[in-house]
């Protein structure tokens, strides 16, 4: 840490303000739907259960839906997010992202009780300011497939892989490489209150521009989510990033998120992250998300 705090530049203030404005705009767009939905009965879970259908165990559907945009095993219908990264000095990066999920469950009537596959795709539009000019364009597309062999009970294990495509329209907006990222995610549920998981993911480049450096790093992300009320939740997480290509250098960051469900299926969240350590990447990050769940 050890550096004196600097006043924010005008460009950084404007970019950070855009993130908050987008967050507020998304909330306003979703508010009519939230007002139209009556609160769910206390024991109905996120979306209730149909007659004759087995009820999920306590805590799984309820908390899972509340945390759908944070849970790597939970499908969102779509999410819109804006992420602003203060990279230190006069450098910054902003990512506007559209995410969509597709879930295939063995027991279609109740996803919490069957085996399933969750597929995720992220479409990022990236802006990068290098201290002189701002460049904006398409970033690297990300896809993810997670297999959940057991989505019931207080503990389960999800495995799968991510895939990063070399689609950025400029060097400053992407890695220049095709990357595969296998992942292992043990998850613990706390009935009716929250859950915790650790996402372990290794990112390895296998093709791409020969003029760009190879990619190989490991991220370990422990996350703890706690439900504050029927509609509010808080989340704390941390991440270590070990770069195998640069003498195993490791950087760290910690984050805190507050979220609210506007209705049974619509939610918003706001997150702040602080990088730290000798190899930290940037000074601070703010992320705003509006999402809709599939169930």
3-state secondary structure of 6: coil
Answer yes or no: is pLDDT of 104 > 60: yes
Question: What is the rounded average pLDDT of the residues 136-148?
Answer: 90
| Region class of 34: left (phi > 0), else alpha (psi between -120 and 50), else beta | alpha
Task: Determine the average pLDDT of the residues in 142-146.
Answer: 90
- Give per-residue pLDDT as tens, 190-219: 877 888 999 999 999 999 889 999 999 999
Select the more confidently predicted residue: 1 or 140: 140
Q: How many residues does the chain have?
A: 295
Residue with the larger pLDDT of the pair 69 and 158: 158
**Residue 168: predicted pLDDT:** 92
* pLDDT, position 10: 57
Q: Which one has a higher pLDDT value, 188 or 31?
A: 188
* Lookup: tokens for 274: 């602080």
Instruction: Give me the sign of the Cα torsion angle 287, 25, 174, 130.
Output: negative
pTM, to two decimals: 0.72
Each residue's pLDDT tens digit, 262-277:
988 899 999 999 999 8
pLDDT of the residue at 281: 85
Average pLDDT, the chain: 76
Domain boundaries, the chain: 10-40+59-293
pLDDT band, residue 244 (cuts 50/70/90): very high
Average pLDDT, stretch 152-162? 80
Query: Between the CA of residue 60 and those of 43, 74, 170, 197, what are the distances in Å?
Result: 12, 10, 42, 14
Q: Assess whether pLDDT exceeds 70 at residue 14.
A: no
CATH superfamily of 10-40+59-293: monomeric porin ompg (2.40.160.40)
Lowest mean pLDDT among 19-23, 32-36, 164-168, 262-266: 32-36
- pLDDT of the residue at 150: 59
Q: What share of the chain in percent tops pLDDT 90?
A: 43
Q: How far is CA 61 from the centre of its chain?
A: 19
Residues 67-99 pLDDT 10s: 456 665 556 788 999 999 998 888 999 999 998
Contact present, 71 and 195 (Cβ < 8 Å):
yes
């Amino acid at each position: 840490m050890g550096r004196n705090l600097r006043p924010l530049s005008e460009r950084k203030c404007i970019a950070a303000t855009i993130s908050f404005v987008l967050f507020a705009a998304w909330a306003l767009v979703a508010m009519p739907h939230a007002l139209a939905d009556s609160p769910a009965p206390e024991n109905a879970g996120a979306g209730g259960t149909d007659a004759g259908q087995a009820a999920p165990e306590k805590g799984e559907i309820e908390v899972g839906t509340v945390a759908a945009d944070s849970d790597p095993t939970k499908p969102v219908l779509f999410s819109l997010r804006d992420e602003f990264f203060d990279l230190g000095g006069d450098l910054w990066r902003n990512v506007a992202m559209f995410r969509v999920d597709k879930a295939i469950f063995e027991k279609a009537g109740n996803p919490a009780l069957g085996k399933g596959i969750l597929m995720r795709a992220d479409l990022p539009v990236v802006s990068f300011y290098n201290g002189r000019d701002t460049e904006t364009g398409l970033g690297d597309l990300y896809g993810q497939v997670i297999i959940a062999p057991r989505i019931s009970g207080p503990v389960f294990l999800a495995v799968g892989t991510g895939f990063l495509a070399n689609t950025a329209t400029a060097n400053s907006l992407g890695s220049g490489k095709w990357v595969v990222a296998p992942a292992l995610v043990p998850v613990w549920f706390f009935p009716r209150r929250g859950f915790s998981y650790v996402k372990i993911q290794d990112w390895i480049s296998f093709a791409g521009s020969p003029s760009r450096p190879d990619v190989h790093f490991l991220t370990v992300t422990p996350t703890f989510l706690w439900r504050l009320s029927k509609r509010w939740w808080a989340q704390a997480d941390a991440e270590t990033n070990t770069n195998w290509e640069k003498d195993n250098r490791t950087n760290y960051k910690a984050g805190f998120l507050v979220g609210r469900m506007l209705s049974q299926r619509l939610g918003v969240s706001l997150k702040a992250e602080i990088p730290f350590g000798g190899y930290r990447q940037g000074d601070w990050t703010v992320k705003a998300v509006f999402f809709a769940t599939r169930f």
